[in-house]
Structure 1
Amino acid sequence: MPLAEVNGTRIHYRIDVTAGDNAPWLVLSNSLGADVSMWTPNIEAFAKHYRVVRYDTRGHGHSDVPPGPYTIDQLIGDVIGLMDHLKIERANYCGLSMGGLTGIGLAARHPERFSRVVLSNTAALIGSDAVWTPRAVKAREPGGMPALTDAVIARWFTAPFIEREQLELANIRDVFRHTSGDGYASNCEAIRDADLRDEAKTITLPVLVIAGTHDLSTTAEQGRELAGYIGGSRYLELDAAHLSNIEKRDDYTRAVLDFIGEQQ
């Protein structure tokens, strides 16, 4: 299992590539409560064109769970540290939800390391203390993650998708239930304390913002607001809830490949 020592934390990552050793890099960053497996619906298509790196955000999956709370600075630094570990000078980036928030910071602070950036189902300011602090408290309780599972999954997908895709949802629920409560809570606190609205306005890289029409966690309105902060950005709205890369996998995958592929 590949692990990179990054900022005193072991970060688990996977590399998928069928495009060849000279293909451009694409970094994928997961949402809160997910891991590298959330990109399974997209990875085969992505790997035909790019050397794809996906990683478990600290506190998730097989990555370490250092003491929290975490900060957005740490989440941003982990990506740069992982790229340095893998000797990736420049990459494309696609992040969803928490991964999108991380992407805003990366695009604003490290534009020299990225070519094109996709920010999906995210915002420059996500939620508030009233949302994140009680959730962090709940996650740290014994049995807290299983207790949160049904309510979170109901916000991640539309009702028709939930009814139709029971097998896929079983895998997603399993990942969420077994996410470290401390890791989840510490990332809740990182999101709670991150306000990147001013930084988003400084981004000059090519950016695609993807939102979900039915997303209750980071609404389409917030997606349009984010796109408005970033000069020259593009906005795409999919008929999905929060995990649009899964619910509308074909449309999402095509949009990302079309956008990133324009540079070639």
Structure 2
Amino acid sequence: MPEPETELVATPHGVRLERLVTGAGDPVTVFAHGLGSGIATTRPFGSGVTGRKVFFQFRGHGRSDSPPGPWSYLDLARDLRAVADLEGATRAFGASLGAGALCRLLAESPERFERLVFFVPAVLDRPRGRAARDRITDLLDAVGSGDASAVAEVVSYELPPSVRNTPAGWAYLRQRLDQLLRDGLASGLVTLPDQVALPDGAALAAVTAPALVLACAGDDLHPVEVAEQLAAALPRATLHVYDRPGVLWTERADLRERISGFLNG
């Protein structure tokens, strides 16, 4: 999707965050992106969602500030809470890293949101595997080198093989390359794959909101086991597992219907 003009907003914890607000009216939904991603990659998830939609960049991403580290999921939860509070969001969507930040926020404020969507959660109370650490290290090294071909090689793994050599795949790569080479990624992100979102997933037992947890079989960076554990920890969760990764490309209509139908309901 074309990148619209965004804004930098001040937060109570002193970190300016890049934000985009689309749509109009209530309810308001906040969208939290994955590690190394951002506003552009989360916008498609909100295409069928009614009301105002608030997209933002976590610290270290895009034009958002990069305060001194190391950073934790508690810091990410503060970023998410600040953006949600500024716009009065009552619903929340979290993808991968954003799902972990949302879990940390809910552990402290279990009644903060009325509806929740978790897309391919990557971590709960056990650290991520080596594949996740290697992927973010490779991405940071490539972006730091300024070599477009090196960045493109790492980013291409975000695409299903069937999409990589298509016009849609090339457009996605170009958009990601433009954003990453323009804004960069903060080195403080490298420690996050070694951390957990919560000391104990049981802390989510007090969450009262209905939740939708979405996972993909065969996704090494986002194991189905994490989604199953999260769905079991949330009292009112529904789990759906797709049979292969890359569903934003291969199952977009179904994914849009599930997310918008749940949030709009």
TM-score category (smaller protein): 0.7 to 0.9
Give the 5 Å matches for 1:210-225. Answer: 210-225=214-229
Q: SS of the counterpart of 2:218? A: coil
Amino acid at match of 1:39: T
Select the residue among 242, 246, 251 that pairs with 1:248: 251
Q: CA separation in 2, counterparts of 1:10 and 1:191?
A: 23
Q: CA separation in 1, counterparts of 2:44 and 2:135?
A: 32
Deviation at 1:25, TM superposition (A): 0.8
Q: CA separation in 2, counterparts of 1:61 and 1:247?
A: 27
Deviation at 1:240, TM superposition (A): 4.4
5+ residue gaps, structure 2, are 1-5
Residue in 2 aligned with 1:209? 213
Amino acid at match of 2:256: T
Amino acid at match of 2:90: A
Amino acid at match of 1:5: A
Identity %: 22
Q: Deviations over 1:60-111 (max 9, x none)?
A: 112122222211111101121223333x1x5110011111111111222222
Give the 5 Å matches for 1:1-264. Answer: 1-6=6-11, 7-17=13-23, 20-21=24-25, 23-46=26-49, 49-86=50-87, 88=88, 90-122=89-121, 123-124=123-124, 125-128=126-129, 132=133, 135-136=136-137, 139=140, 142-143=144-145, 147=150, 149-154=152-157, 156-164=158-166, 165-170=168-173, 171-181=175-185, 183=186, 185-196=187-198, 198-199=200-201, 201-203=203-205, 204=207, 205-241=209-245, 244-262=247-265
Q: CA separation in 2, counterparts of 1:241 and 1:116?
A: 25
Q: Deviations over 1:10-58 (max 9, x none)?
A: 10111111xx42x211000111111101133344422xx1210000111
Amino acid at match of 2:94: G
Deviation at 1:5, TM superposition (A): 1.0
TM-score by length of 2: 0.81
Q: CA RMSD in A?
A: 2.8
Segment drifting more, 209-218 vs 221-230: 221-230
Q: SS of the counterpart of 2:253? A: helix
Q: Deviations over 1:133-183 (max 9, x none)?
A: 8954972684178545523531x23211323332333223443454524x2
Amino acid at match of 2:210: P
Q: SS of the counterpart of 1:160? A: coil
2:216, 2:245 within 8 Å by CA — same for their partners in 1?
Answer: yes
Q: CA separation in 1, counterparts of 2:75 and 2:165?
A: 37
